[in-house]
Amino acid sequence: MTERVSTTRRTLLRLRLALLALTVVVLAMSAWSFAATQDVLSTVRDRTAPAVLDIASARAALMQAHAAAVSSFVNGGAGLVGPGEQYATSLSVAEQDLARAAEDNSAGAAASNELQLLAGLLTTYSGWMSQADSHYRDKPVDSLYLSDLWYAARALDGGDQTLAHLEVLAQDQQQELDQELTADWLDPSLALAWLVPALVLLALLVYTQVYLRRRFRRRYSPWMIGATVVLLALMGATATELMLADRAHSANAALTAYVDGTDQQSDAVSAGAQHQLILLIRQVCAPSGKPDGCGDTMPATPPAVPLTTAAPPATSAASATAQFASATDLGWLLVLIPVLALAVAGLVLAGLQPRIDEYRNRS
């Protein structure tokens, strides 16, 4: 009898040790996985996604500024207000957007360099526009201001200029966002890091329940059943990280749709401004008999660009950012997960310790 008692007690001690050790592992991996996921999603919400929006907003504001300035010269208002109040306001908005994008930048040194270069390009653009204003006020009948307007336009979309670098910057930020939403703990395959030990613990709890029923001839142990239920709750709480990651992917799709719609509208505004500018150049320069443009520095006027329109974005910036925020609204689970793990350990001890003490007394 002593040998049997010793064997049973030893088995119970081993089960207790294994269950508690696995509970610690599950706690560590679940808390680590959930915390890491929340950290990435918080970075996306607070920095990367806003940077993508800031760049799209800067592009739209810059096109609005340029269109307003060209319209002011075309309509003759430049003689009184220069490029106009809307130009100044929109240009200021674009500069502020790029400043925020620099603060939120998560794409590394390359993006920082692009942002610094863009600041210089905007200074060049505004310089040409100011010069056009000055020349127009001095001699509105002269065509010199048209050269300034032309070079301002080329500073925006000519070759390796402002819009080209904005596009590179937008791609860098979007790639960083896509990478953050697919790498590390947001990779679904890494869920195995906490799921495997949790499943092993679940199997061991079931085995312990069966062992106690056979050894002590009791139908069930309420403590082991309670530990199993709490473990399932713990697994469910940790698994919500997959749901939150899915929300973030949906938010990214909404953000991409918004940015694409905004860019299309910006392109339409840019095309309209270019169309107006070319018509103005032809109107002023055609009577001079110079088919190649106004002056030697003015390139030949290209064919007029037809006016285009674009549908508004399918979603709004506020909607996209709200969806990213919803991916981090379950952060309180990071407190619940350790509580549930401690409850599992407590229930395991409550279920096994009396049996262990009983055999200690027998021996």
Write down the pLDDT at residue 1: 46
Please state the pTM of the whole predicted model: 0.80
Task: Tell me the C-alpha distance between 362 and 2, whole Å.
Answer: 8
Write down the pLDDT at residue 357: 75
Task: Tell me the C-alpha distance between 110 and 95, whole Å.
Answer: 19
Task: Tell me the C-alpha distance between 266 and 106, whole Å.
Answer: 25
Quickly count: other Cβ atoms within 10 Å of residue 171's Cβ. Answer: 13
Structure tokens at 335: 């407190």
Tell which phi-psi region holds residue 139, choosing left (phi > 0), alpha (psi between -120 and 50) or beta. Answer: beta
From the list 255, 256, 246, 260, the residue with the least C-alpha distance to 326 is 246
Write down the pLDDT at residue 21: 95
Write down the pLDDT at residue 274: 83
From the list 247, 195, 190, 188, the residue with the least C-alpha distance to 41 is 247
- Between the CA of residue 362 and those of 9, 97, 163, 267, 314, what are the distances in Å? 10, 77, 84, 86, 75
Contact 104, 50 (CB under 8 A): yes
- Between the CA of residue 151 and those of 21, 89, 124, 246, 355, what are the distances in Å? 71, 21, 10, 46, 89
Contact 338, 31 (CB under 8 A): yes
From the list 362, 165, 350, 154, the residue with the least C-alpha distance to 270 is 154
Burial 6-36 (b: 16+ CB within 10 A, else e): eebbeebeebbebbeebbebbbebbbebbeb
Contact 213, 201 (CB under 8 A): no
Q: Which amino acid would we find at residue 3?
A: E
- Between the CA of residue 228 and those of 104, 177, 198, 200, 217, what are the distances in Å? 44, 38, 11, 12, 20
Write down the pLDDT at residue 261: 85
Write down the pLDDT at residue 337: 93
Residues 6 or more apart whose Cβ sits within 8 Å of residue 320: 49, 53, 251, 254, 255, 258
Q: What single-letter DSSP state applies at residue 282?
A: H
From the list 362, 157, 183, 193, the residue with the least C-alpha distance to 266 is 157
Per-residue pLDDT in tens (0 to 9) along the chain, 363 residues: 455 556 888 888 899 999 999 999 999 999 998 888 888 888 888 888 888 999 999 999 999 998 888 888 888 776 666 787 888 899 999 989 888 888 887 777 777 888 888 888 889 988 988 888 888 777 766 677 888 888 888 888 877 788 888 888 888 888 888 888 887 777 877 777 889 999 999 999 999 998 888 877 767 789 999 999 999 999 999 999 888 888 888 888 888 888 888 888 888 888 888 888 887 777 777 655 454 555 555 555 555 555 555 555 556 677 777 878 887 888 888 899 999 999 999 999 998 887 777 766 555
Contact 238, 33 (CB under 8 A): yes
Residues 6 or more apart whose Cβ sits within 8 Å of residue 346: none
